[in-house]
Structures are given as C-alpha cells and as structure tokens.
C-alpha cells in the first residue's frame, strides 16, 4: 500500500529538517560579551568628554537596546488584531472501523489516513482587552525611552564629576608641589644659618618636619590625581586617560535663586520620574485588560484541506468548514477576579511610587541648591583666606629672619597657607561639580 511509504517519507522529512535546524543553532557564532577597550590621548574638552562617554559607555547602550526591545512588545500585543493561519499535515495509522471511546465524552471514528489542510482564525472582538494591552505596551515603551534619557543624564553627571575631579586634584597637586618647593627652600636657608651658628639645630629639625609634611601632602595629591583619572576613564567607557590633557573652565556663573521654580522644573522634566509615571500608566492599562478577561470573546474560524489517502468510509477527498465562536467565561475558580485585583493593586502601588519619587525630587533639588550655593560662597572666602595666609607667612618669615619670631610661628603660618591654597584649589571645581549635581536633579542635564 502507498500509505506506509508516504508516511515513512513524511517522518524522514521532519527528522531531517529538525537535524538541519539543530546544526544551524549549534554552529551559530556567539556574540562577544566584552566590548573593545580603547585608550584616549591628547587634549580633551568637557564637550568632547561628554560625547565620548555617551558614545562608549555600555550603560546607555544597554538602555537603548532595552527600549528597542520594548518597542517590539507593541507589535506582539497588536498581533491579536490580525488573523492567524496554520498549515497542518496529519498522518495516522489506526484500526479501521472502530471509535475513540475512553478518555472523552464524545466518540470519534478512527481510520487510517494522510491529510493536509489550512486553519485560519480571526478575532472579531474581545471588547477592548487587546487595545488595553497595546496601550500598556506603548506606555512601557515610553518608559523605556525615558530610561534612555535618564541613562544619558547619569552618564553626563558621572563624566562631569570625574572631569572636574581630575582638574581639582591636579590643581591641588600643583599647590602641594609649590608648597614643598617653598619649604625645601626654607630648610636650606635654616640649615645654612645653623652651620653659621645663627640658628639652632632645633630650627633645622622643625624645618625638616615641615618638609616631610609637604612631601606627604604631595604623595596624597598624586594618589588622588591618579584615582580621579581612573574615575574619568570609567565614566568615559575607555581603558585609560593617563596621557590626556584636560581643558580648564572659566565659567563660574552664579546660581538661579528661585528654588521653587527649579523644583517645578524638576517635577516636569526629570526622566526618572517620567519612567515611573509611564510605568504607572501601563499598570492601569493592564488592570483594564484584566478586568475585560470576564467579557466574551468572538472569533471566526475557517478550515479547508485534502485527504488523498483515507478509509473508504470517508466519502470525500477534501473538506471545508467555517464558523463563528463565542467564548463566554462563566466560572474559573475566581482566577479572573484575582488577576483583576492584583493588577489594580499594583497600579495603585505605582501611584504611590510616583508620589514617593516626587517627594525625593523636591528634597534633592533643595539640598543640591544649598550645597551649590555654599560651594559658590566658598570661592570668595577661600580666595581671601589665601591672601591672608600669604601675608601671614611673609610677616612670619620677616620676623624669623630678624630674630624676632620662632620657627614654630613660621611653621604654623606655612601650614595655614598650604591648607588655604589646597582649599582654594579645589573650591572652583567643587562648585562646578555641585552645580552639575543641581542640573541633574532639576532634569536639565540631558
């Protein structure tokens, strides 16, 4: 009989296709998990650093890919509007002339056959449940897009912090090196005077102590400078920036004094708040969709096919049918009600998440403004302190040279000077960093 040969060929074809698919999956190349590391050298402006960080950092690349993935979820939800079609090929060997009796309420005749056909199913209406799922997917995509903006803002914040950190640490290093040079000069002078019996060895010892303190300060400043460059490299997404020369900034603009206006701007523009808001909107759409699970579903179905090999009890070599199906949920143990309640509670929880983040934003904006304002006021205070400490050192040096002052007095004045110069060196970049944090908290950093 021709049927066993066709059946064997059919199963051979299926097994061959499965082996081919398996071979393709096994031989497919794997994507590299680690990105290419880069180094950077030359002069780097703040604008170039921001562009480099946005282009190289994997954090923003991950957020962008996640947003693109969320966009495909919209098509997944919308696919329920379109018809589905499937081609079926069935081959069966049975004891002809009997029926399926056990395991089912109805009986169905069994016969040996080989057949193929097409099954088409089209949703007519589910009373808006699919539309709610599509809207939920759209809100989630908008949340993912806002998350990309939030990732950009975080990268820009990290880049600026690191950039100002490098400038500040190098400024402190230069101040510490200048102080060391000055104290070494003082040590040489005191040592020469001690050899001429004009000063005691105690003065030499005190001068050596101050040189050692200055050397420690230089070592600490050098370590901080290297650490700040490592932080800048991480923020830029590159391997090293040891050979980079950073361009200094002269922009020291004052702050906007209207804090309330900045708070309102933050509540309107902060991308992380928009992420939470769109996530909340998606949750409410899911709650709507779960509510509509209890509504009927109406669909059309059409089937057609051919039976080239069949039992003599089947009168035709082909079949066609079409119909409409209405599915009305009646009882499922409270499943739909529980799902609806869960979705609604999650949506209300998302509402509270929005309120909670709004409170945090109000606090963060005000805190960032006060910190930046304090850093701005320190610019004038530290500048005055440097001038006063230099005058104190000059007077102490003159008194010491004239034999009217002690080495302890001179050392105290020099210690005050180095402290003032180090604070002044970092004050400018501390203010720029604080102002960047304020821009981040108000949503202006994008």
pLDDT tens string 345-398: 999 999 999 999 999 999 999 999 999 999 999 888 888 888 888 888 888 888
Q: Which whole number is the average pLDDT over 246-271?
A: 90
Helical residues (DSSP H) of 115-200, grouped into ranges: 129-195
Across 21-25, 34-38, 214-218, 418-422, the highest mean pLDDT is recorded for: 214-218
Nearest residue to 1 (alpha-carbon basis) of 395, 419, 308, 368: 308
Q: Which whole number is the average pLDDT over 193-204?
A: 81
**Residue 179 in this model has a pLDDT that exceeds 70:** yes
pLDDT, position 426: 82
pLDDT, position 193: 81
pLDDT, position 17: 37
User: What whole-number distance in Å separates Cα of residue 4 and Cα of residue 91?
Assistant: 10
Band the pLDDT of 29: cuts 50, 70, 90.
Answer: very low
In 259-316 the beta strands, taken as DSSP E runs, fall at 297-309
Determine the topology of domain 41-89+116-441 in CATH. Answer: Outer membrane efflux proteins (OEP) (1.20.1600)
pLDDT, position 12: 36
Strand pairing report for 42-44 and 244-246: parallel
């Amino acid at each position: 009989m021709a049927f066993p040969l066709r059946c064997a060929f059919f199963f051979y074809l299926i097994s061959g296709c499965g082996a081919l698919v398996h071979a393709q999956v096994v031989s497919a190349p794997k994507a590299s998990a680690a990105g290419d590391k880069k180094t950077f050298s030359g002069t780097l402006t703040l604008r170039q650093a921001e562009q480099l960080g946005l282009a190289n950092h994997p954090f923003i690349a991950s957020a962008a890919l996640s947003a693109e993935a969320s966009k495909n979820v919209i098509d997944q939800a919308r696919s329920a509007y379109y018809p589905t079609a499937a081609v079926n090929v069935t081959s069966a060997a049975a004891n002809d002339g009997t029926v399926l009796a056990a395991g089912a309420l109805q009986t169905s005749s069994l016969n040996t056959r080989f057949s193929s056909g097409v099954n088409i199913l089209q949703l007519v209406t589910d009373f808006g449940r699919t539309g709610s799922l599509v809207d939920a997917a759209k809100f989630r995509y908008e949340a993912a897009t806002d998350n990309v903006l939030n990732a950009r803002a975080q990268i820009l914040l990290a880049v600026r912090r690191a950039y100002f950190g490098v400038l500040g640490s190098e400024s402190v290093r230069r101040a510490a090196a200048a102080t060391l040079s000055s104290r070494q000069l003082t040590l040489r002078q005191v040592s020469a005077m001690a050899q001429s019996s004009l000063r005691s060895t105690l003065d030499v010892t005190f001068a050596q102590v101050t040189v050692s303190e200055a050397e420690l300060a230089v070592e600490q400043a050098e370590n901080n400078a290297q650490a700040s460059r490592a932080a800048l490299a991480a923020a830029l997404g590159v391997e090293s920036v040891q050979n980079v020369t950073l361009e200094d900034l002269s922009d020291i603009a004052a702050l906007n004094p209207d804090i309330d206006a900045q708070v309102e701007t933050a509540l309107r523009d902060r991308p992380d708040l928009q992420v939470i808001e769109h996530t909340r909107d998606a949750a409410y759409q899911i709650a709507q969709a779960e509510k509509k699970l209890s509504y009927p579903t109406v669909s059309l179905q059409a089937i057609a096919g051919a039976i080239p090999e069949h039992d003599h009890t089947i009168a035709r070599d082909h079949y066609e049918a079409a119909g409409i199906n209405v599915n009305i949920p009646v009882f499922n143990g409270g499943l739909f009600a529980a799902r609806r309640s869960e979705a609604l509670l999650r949506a209300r929880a998302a509402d509270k998440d929005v309120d909670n983040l709004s409170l945090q934003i109000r606090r963060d904006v005000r805190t960032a403004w006060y910190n930046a304002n304090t850093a701005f006021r320190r610019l004038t205070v530290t500048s005055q302190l440097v001038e006063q400490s230099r005058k104190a050192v000059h007077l102490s040096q003159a008194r010491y040279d004239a034999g009217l002052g002690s080495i302890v007095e001179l050392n105290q004045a020099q210690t005050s000077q180095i402290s003032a110069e180090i604070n002044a060196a970092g004050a400018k970049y501390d203010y720029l960093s604080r102002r960047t944090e304020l821009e981040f908290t108000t949503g202006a950093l994008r």
